[in-house]
Structure 1
Amino acid sequence: MALTISQQTYDDAVRELMEELEISCEEAIEEANKQFKAQGVDLSRIVKNLEQKPGSSLTHLIEVTVNQLQEIAKDENKRQLHEYTERLSVVRRECDKGLEYRVLAGKGNAYSSILSILLKDLNDEELLKECLKTLISLMTKQPDLLDTKGIEVIGNILENQKDPEIQRLTLKWVKECCIMHEMNRQAIFDADILGHLKPLLNNADSFLLRDVLGVLRALVLDDDVRVEFGKAHDHAKIIAGDTLRSITSLLSNFKGDERLMNDIMLTIAALLVRQEFCQEVEEAGGIDIIKEVLTLYHDNEKLVRQSFKLIKALCGSDTCKINFIEKGAAPLIISALDENKSSPQSVTAGFGAIAALTLRAANNSNALFNAGAPDVIVDCMTLHKDDINVQKNGSWAIRNMVSRSRNQIKKFLTLGTDKILENNLKNFPTIEFDTKSALRDLGCKVELKEEWTGKGGLLTSQADES
């Protein structure tokens, strides 16, 4: 495990090297970096560009600017706009250089200073925009800074501001606060963020909609390793219950906007945590829209990949699973997969969709088989032979295709599927179970590990012993 040091320790080391060796600041920084790295110290969160102005001590530009922000934030009287924007732009520029700059600014109370400046006049739109931009830069991958006052400000802005740019900046800030921070997500959700977002789904333009959808997805993340149990499922259930039909209808309303279409499908897939939600999307025309996307945008790798992921999510309902194939989606899926087979991400998603569609569904399997699935599956696995995700999902697709349709085995074996899977046993030991499961269902001889064995003794209860 790498050693860590504080910013102060690093700065003191540079100062000592300058004094003891009588070298310049740049030379001292270079020498300090060498010494710390030789000791195995992690410098990834250390700001290394110290500055020395004539007659002054070593400083960091971001520290100096944050201190200036603190001073003008304390002033009860509002100053000229340029006095704020000049310093805010410097903080923003420095924070955009990397996480180490954001950490240093955060420790210098930049967050509270910016919030104080913002609150001087919430009706000053230009100042509000500058503060929001700076908060986004400051809190990217640093959401711990958010506090109760910040959540109140978010609600206030979304309630009263109708300027689309301010709304977008606020939503971008909210999203950064939610990523990798479960407590922030819960606090923001409990502050009725959904009540502010729902009206925007029906009235916003495509740019603002993308930010609204981004916040909805952020609220259902489960990415905070510090929390054992989060509320992602609960949030998804409530959001889906209130917004799923509105979000699905956006697919029809924005057919020409490929980027927004991608975000809409991504959001729908994130919200499908219950079977009835899958059916609700189908009732709103979701299956027909996905088919249309695969037809119109078959050469758009991102949209095709997202369509595959949404198909997999909708297969949480057996009814949707059956209806996909009955409505003629099988040839579209196989054709889109074949056309985008150069992308390992799309292939992985496509295999996932096939595996979901064919799980305990022989009729679906036969339809995909007749559409040419075996040739495309084997072709993709051969093309991406070194990609573990492709091989793992390919194993699932093959297993589910043949498990209840034994007539397909000969075709898969003729294509050399068994050879591909046997090579995977050697190359990818971590997916051994998935590979052997596919080989087993293909009728190949495999040695399966028995995960648990009893001792062969009789079980007794306390009552028997007494």
Structure 2
Amino acid sequence: MVLKINQETFDDAVKENITEFGMEIGEAIADAVKQYEAQGVDLSNIIKDHMTSLDTESTQELAEALAKLAKFAKSEVSTSVPQILQLLQVVTNECDKGIPNRVYAGKQGAYNIIMDLALKYCLNAEMLVNCFTALKSLMTKQPDLLNESGIQCIGKCLHQQTNPEVLSALLKWVKECCIMHETNRQSIFNAGILEDLKPLLQKVDVSLLRDVLGVLRALVLDDDVRVEFGRSHEHARAIASDTLCSITALLSNFKNDELLINDLLLTISSLLVRTEFCKKVEDAGGLDVIRDTMVVFQSRDKFVRQCFKVLKALAGNDEVKVLIIKKDLAPIITSALSIHKSSSQTATLGLGCIAALTLRCPDNSKALFEAGAPEVIVDCMKLHSDDVNVQKNASWAIRNMVSRSRYQSNKFLEIGVEPILKSNLKKFTHHEFDAKSALRDLGCEVNLKEEWTGSGGLLTTQGKRK
């Protein structure tokens, strides 16, 4: 089992090196890293150099602001709200400077102070917006600060608040709490946040909708290296069951809003963890909207990438995979990939989309072949000859297209795919199977290695037979 430590433990070790052994900050950090790595501790979740850049002026201003806010939070006397808002802005600005300031603020009790203010002024919308904004800044890359009181505050505000600005600030904070923290995700999800988010999907406020979608995506992340097994799949399944039709319907309602459409597609692709969910999207008219909007925003590289992701995910359902091509998406896919083939990211996703659509589906392969897919695939391979992901996905796309449609092989060979694949055998030795599979199905001569052979001897067992 991989050993993990949290940021506080690492920081304490660095401080001990400084105070006990008189080391300089850089030396103290290097020594702490060396000691933990020698013990087999995985430090991938640790920010190692955040203590090197905190200046005295920042700490003083931050400490003074927090001290004043703490008094206001505990005071029973009515306090000037503008003065508190100004101090909260100071905390937000200081935390936004970087992780050293956020860590320092956290150690000065900023989280509890701000939470106390939010509870004390829970009826003041402007105060809540500033409190949640400060909490988001404070907890960026340090979500460990969240506690049960914060989770209860999230549920209460979502259940009671109708002010879109308060909800937007709250959701931005919630999203930050979920990033790289599996325990927070599970606690927030188990507190019933989904029931409070579903009504918000019916709102017409685009900014608020994007914040809701951001939280939904954060709840299905699997990015906490400290946890061996997360519940991203379970969260995605529950969210998709309750919201996927509503989210898909938003594609039609806001088809001219590029940013929201991009977020919707990103969210849909993150929720397609079961084949029946793919059918839900199709039943809700998702394919028609994806096709139409893909045409409208075909010049937008980022948008095209999200479309490729969604289409690849939808192709996980064999029925939907066929319908995608029947909706005349083959020429749109090849055209979009051709337009953005200079981008390695888009090329990788586009080739992966073609590979998924043509897997064990000769009719789809035929449609993409007639739409000019071979030329685009080979162009991508030539443009990104040193990109292993492009070459790997291209090999899959070629293999899937020709494996049940051998007549296509001549076209691929005519446009020069064989020397590229053979070059990849030497260049990407860890992925030679992909290139060999494509060469084999193209009918090229290739040396296929037998992975395992028996010795021809009899199997024996230990002990005597009874």
Common fold, TM-score beyond 0.5? yes
Q: What is the letter of the counterpart of residue 240 of structure 1? A: A
The answer to whether the 8 Å contact 2:54/2:100 transfers is no
Aligned to 2:320: 320
Total equivalences in the alignment: 444
Q: Separation in 2 of the partners of 1:425 and 1:284?
A: 44
Aligned to 1:122: 122
Are residue 289 (structure 1) and residue 294 (structure 2) matched?
no
Aligned to 2:95: 95
The answer to whether the 8 Å contact 2:402/2:408 transfers is yes
Q: Separation in 2 of the partners of 1:238 and 1:34?
A: 46
Aligned to 1:50: 55
Q: Separation in 2 of the partners of 1:464 and 1:204?
A: 75
Q: Separation in 1 of the partners of 2:403 and 2:78?
A: 72
Instruction: Report matched runs for 1:409-424 at 5 Å.
Output: 409-424=409-424
CA deviation map 1:244-273 (0-9, x unaligned): 111111010001100100111111111111
Structure 2 runs not aligned, ≥5 long: 1-8, 34-46
**CA 1:100–1:59 in 2, change beyond 3 Å: closer, same or farther?**
closer
The answer to whether the 8 Å contact 1:182/1:222 transfers is yes
Q: Displacement of 1:198 after TM fit?
A: 0.6
The answer to whether the 8 Å contact 2:59/2:101 transfers is no
Instruction: Report matched runs for 1:194-273 at 5 Å.
Output: 194-273=194-273
Aligned to 2:403: 403
Q: Displacement of 1:240 after TM fit?
A: 1.0
Q: What is the letter of the counterpart of residue 135 of structure 1? A: L
CA deviation map 1:66-123 (0-9, x unaligned): 3443343333444221332232222211111112221221122211111011111200
Are residue 174 (structure 1) and residue 179 (structure 2) matched?
no
Instruction: Report matched runs for 1:135-174 at 5 Å.
Output: 135-174=135-174
Q: Separation in 2 of the partners of 1:10 and 1:78?
A: 46
Q: Displacement of 1:49 after TM fit?
A: 3.8
The answer to whether the 8 Å contact 1:206/1:260 transfers is yes
RMSD of the TM alignment (CA)?
2.7
CA deviation map 1:122-163 (0-9, x unaligned): 001121111111000011111111111101101111111111
Q: What is the letter of the counterpart of residue 351 of structure 1? A: L
The answer to whether the 8 Å contact 1:69/1:110 transfers is no
The answer to whether the 8 Å contact 1:78/1:120 transfers is no
Q: What is the letter of the counterpart of residue 308 of structure 1? A: F
**CA 1:219–1:37 in 2, change beyond 3 Å: closer, same or farther?**
closer
Q: Displacement of 1:418 after TM fit?
A: 1.6
Q: Displacement of 1:287 after TM fit?
A: 1.2
Q: Separation in 1 of the partners of 2:18 and 2:53?
A: 8
Aligned to 2:337: 337
Q: What is the letter of the counterpart of residue 200 of structure 1? A: L
Q: What is the letter of the counterpart of residue 45 of structure 1? A: H
Aligned to 1:55: none
Q: Displacement of 1:425 after TM fit?
A: 2.5
CA deviation map 1:319-356 (0-9, x unaligned): 01111112221111111111121222111111111000
% identity of equivalent residues: 55
- Partner of 2:444, secondary structure, is coil
Q: Separation in 2 of the partners of 1:158 and 1:456?
A: 68
Q: Displacement of 1:11 after TM fit?
A: 7.9
Tell me the TM-score normalized by structure 1. Answer: 0.88
Q: Separation in 2 of the partners of 1:149 and 1:35?
A: 39
**CA 1:461–1:279 in 2, change beyond 3 Å: closer, same or farther?**
farther
Q: Displacement of 1:404 after TM fit?
A: 1.2
Aligned to 1:110: 110
Q: Separation in 1 of the partners of 2:401 and 2:349?
A: 16
The answer to whether the 8 Å contact 2:220/2:232 transfers is yes
**CA 1:389–1:63 in 2, change beyond 3 Å: closer, same or farther?**
farther
Q: Separation in 2 of the partners of 1:141 and 1:321?
A: 39
**CA 1:43–1:292 in 2, change beyond 3 Å: closer, same or farther?**
closer
Q: Separation in 2 of the partners of 1:68 and 1:9?
A: 30
- Partner of 2:407, secondary structure, is helix
The answer to whether the 8 Å contact 1:293/1:307 transfers is no
**CA 1:444–1:43 in 2, change beyond 3 Å: closer, same or farther?**
same
- Partner of 1:172, secondary structure, is helix
Instruction: Report matched runs for 1:359-398 at 5 Å.
Output: 359-398=359-398
